[in-house]
A and B are shown apart, each in its own frame.
Chain A
Amino acid sequence: MTDTFEPKITAFVCNWCTYAGADLTGTSRIKYQSNVRVLRLPCTGRIDFMLLAKAFARGADGIIISGCHPNDCHYTSGNYHARRRWMVYRNLMDFMGIDVERITFSWVSAAEGAKWAELVNEVTTGIRAKGPYTEYQELAHTGVE
């Protein structure tokens, strides 16, 4: 099982920077590991903390959250608000015993196609080494008829 394990990575990215950046990775013909499922949202400020919990419950082994660098937000301050939210939520998750190392936060701009490829490769390799996040995924089945 372990040698055939392919991690599922869910990436929540903002429309204006990271999604465009990931697009650039493609148009630049940079190859990267195909374990990532990209979900485009208007802004990192739109990423509800529960989306992360939902992703884990639905079988994600790793999560990438990425958006515009500070000062670059299309909506002026969405990423600043998101940053505060993640600061609180990450601590809370760690306190509850959730493996926060499976969640990677990053700023990737529309010009950083290479950074995106590098990020995905790094995260995928890391999660592959960690193995599937069965601990959390099992929760979705316990006690449910």
Chain B
Amino acid sequence: MDLNEKAKQLLEAGTVQAVLGFEPGTHGAPRPAFARGADQAARLVSGPGCDQNLASYVTRAPVKRLGKLAVLATPKVLRALLQLMAERQIQEQDVLPLALDAAGQVVELATAQAMEEHLALEPDPVSTQDRELLDRLGRMTRAERWAFWQGELSRCVKCYACRSSCPMCYCEHCTMDCNRPQWVPVPSHALGNLEYHMVRSMHLAGRCVQCGDCGSACPVGIPVHLLTFNAEQTVHAQFGQRAGASAKLDYALSTFRPDDKENFIR
């Protein structure tokens, strides 16, 4: 059954109250859309350009009020949904991920276990392009990396698109918006930008599902996703766990092993 038929069937049967997917937007470019009745199911599209991580919508209060939601789920959406379950932001029964197979047929992944099994077949989430940039940064000297990031971050306008696009940035009160006391400077000057991206990356360490949507959301093209990837990859390398791999995962930084190995504490 293809996506439109499946959406129609689910909405007619009342299995879900809405289907979250994409519809053609300006100049035909896909944009996220909710089909809230069987008559709207035909609007949904899939294919090239349907790249946004839809999981960033499911934790929003107005979306939660809709009721049970079917979500068009690419691997990164599945990882994000699993991580949201691990963080107890959603429950297994709140969402019905709909994955598409190679022939465009819908595969329902009703349980966390089904999602985990489906994901296990997926390759490394980091794209070749990102991998190359990470390798290039790794080969740089510290001063070169500083110059690289200062150059990149100098373009940041603090629009917080990276925060808004992130499925894991669901806090109702973000520390960025806290101004008593003012912890991170609001203006997008060099220090404010550096501190903002530092905080964002640290708050996503061990939680980033490496979807890279923050980087694609950036209007000035800063590869901000590499910062969260770095923190996430340290967690994976040091503590052996990967965010989004399972619906049962302890937060890496609020747990510990007495034998955690580092090489810099004297």
A, B from the same assembly: yes
Q: Which residues does A use to contact B, with CB under 8 Å?
A: 49-50, 53, 57, 70-71, 77, 80-81, 83-99, 104-107, 119, 135, 139-140, 142-144
Near A by CB (< 8 A), chain B positions 222-264 give: 227, 230-231, 234-235, 238-239, 252-254, 256-258, 260, 262, 264
B: residues with CB less than 8 A from A are 137, 142-150, 183-184, 187, 189-191, 194-195, 197-199, 201-202, 205-206, 227, 230-231, 234-235, 238-239, 252-254, 256-258, 260, 262, 264-266
Also in contact, A143 and B190, with CB within 8 A (given A97-B149, A105-B266):
yes
Contact B234 A88 (CB under 8 A): yes
Q: How far is the CA of A85 from the CA of B189 in the complex (A)?
A: 27
- Please name all residues of chain B whose beta carbon is closer than 8 Å to the beta carbon of A94 when the two chains form the complex: 142, 145
Q: How far is the CA of A53 from the CA of B183 in the complex (A)?
A: 11
CB-defined contacts of B264 to chain A, threshold 8 Å: 86, 90, 105
A-B contact pairs, 15 of them (CB 8 A): A50-B199, A57-B191, A80-B256, A81-B253, A83-B262, A84-B256, A86-B262, A88-B234, A91-B234, A92-B205, A96-B194, A99-B142, A105-B265, A143-B189, A144-B189
> Please, which residues of chain A bring their CB within 8 A of the CB of B234?
87-88, 91-92
- Note all chain B residues with C-beta closer than 8 A to A80: 256-258, 260
A77 to B258, CA, bound (A): 9
A80 vs B199: C-alpha distance when bound (angstroms) = 21
| Bound Cα distance from A112 to B59, whole angstroms | 50
Bound form: Cα–Cα A106–B264 in Å? 8
Smallest distance from the beta carbon of A116 to chain B beta carbons, Å? Answer: 11
Tell me if A95 and B230 are in contact (CB < 8 A).
Answer: yes
Please state if B256 and A92 are interface contacts (CB–CB under 8 Å): no
Could you tell me if B190 and A96 are in contact, using CB atoms closer than 8 angstroms? Answer: no
Main SS class of interface, A: helix
Would you call B266 and A95 a contact (CB within 8 A)? Answer: no
Report the Cα distance A94→B144, complex, angstroms.
11
**For residue A80, which residue of chain B has the nearest CB?**
B256
Most buried by B among A86, A95, A98, A143: A95
Q: Are B202 and A89 in contact (CB under 8 A)?
A: yes
**Which are the 4 A-B pairs with shortest beta-carbon distances?**
A97-B146, A143-B189, A97-B145, A80-B256
